[in-house]
Amino acid sequence: MDNQKRLPLLILVLSVLLFPAVAHANMVWPSLLIMERLYGWGIILVGLVIEIPVIRYITQSTLSRAVKNTVAINTGSAILGIVVIPLSGIVYALLGALLRMGTFHPVSIVLEMLFNALVTAAVELAILKAIYSLYLKEKLSLNRWNFLLFWLINVGSVGAAYATLLFKPFES
């Protein structure tokens, strides 16, 4: 395929990927709706403030390096999250059907938030390991306690996005 034929396909793919997920959804579930809240500056700042000391602790690095690592993993997480968070919502919706409660049941929303924090923690720690192995040429040893700690801080930042629903519900 030559470049002239690839250009329209590339434009189509990029336009679909760059539009907010909410704009091209055929069904609605909490993970999809929460996307706009996760990318708000307030939530991003809360996440960074919560994660910097934990990254510093896990990596035993300087404050400067911890800030750089935290910004890098959150940038990567935000880019991947455009696809991963809605997909995790679909997975949770399918698994949540076993609970026999509606998608917007309060218990279901809390469980989905915990699941989203789990997925986010896994993505961010994978990016952190990649930063250390590819760019810093150092081995970063992570254990289950690091993962649990990182999941809990992601519960804080993802939970903050969900908590905004109490103060500013979705508008139709």
φ and ψ of 105, to 5 deg: -65, 140
pLDDT value for 12:
57
Q: Between these two residues, 41 and 153, which has the higher pLDDT value?
A: 153
- Regarding pTM above 0.75, the answer is no
User: Angle at which helices 63-96 and 106-130 pack, to 10 degrees?
Assistant: 140
Smallest Cα–Cα separation from 142: which of 55, 38, 22, 32?
A: 55
DSSP collapsed to 3 states, the chain: CCHHHHHHHHHHHHHHHHCCHHHHCCCCCHHHHHHHHHCCHHHHHHHHHHHHHHHHHHHCCCHHHHHHHHHHHHHHHHHHHHHHHHHHHHHHHHHHHHHCCCCCCHHHHHHHHHHHHHHHHHHHHHHHHHHHHHHCCCCCCCCHHHHHHHHHHHHHHHHHHHHHHHHCCCCC
Q: Between these two residues, 109 and 65, which has the higher pLDDT value?
A: 65
* Residues 102-117, mean pLDDT to the nearest whole number: 78
Smallest Cα–Cα separation from 86: which of 165, 157, 30?
A: 30
* Residues 94-111, mean pLDDT to the nearest whole number: 72
What tokens were used for 108? Answer: 């279901």
Residue 25 CA, distance from chain mean position: 18
Distance of alpha carbon 73 from alpha carbon 124, whole angstroms:
5
Distance of alpha carbon 137 from alpha carbon 30, whole angstroms:
39
* Residues 134-143, mean pLDDT to the nearest whole number: 77
* Residues 153-168, mean pLDDT to the nearest whole number: 82
pLDDT tens sequence across 5-51: 666 666 655 555 555 544 444 445 566 666 666 667 777 888 889 99
| pLDDT(102) > 70 | no
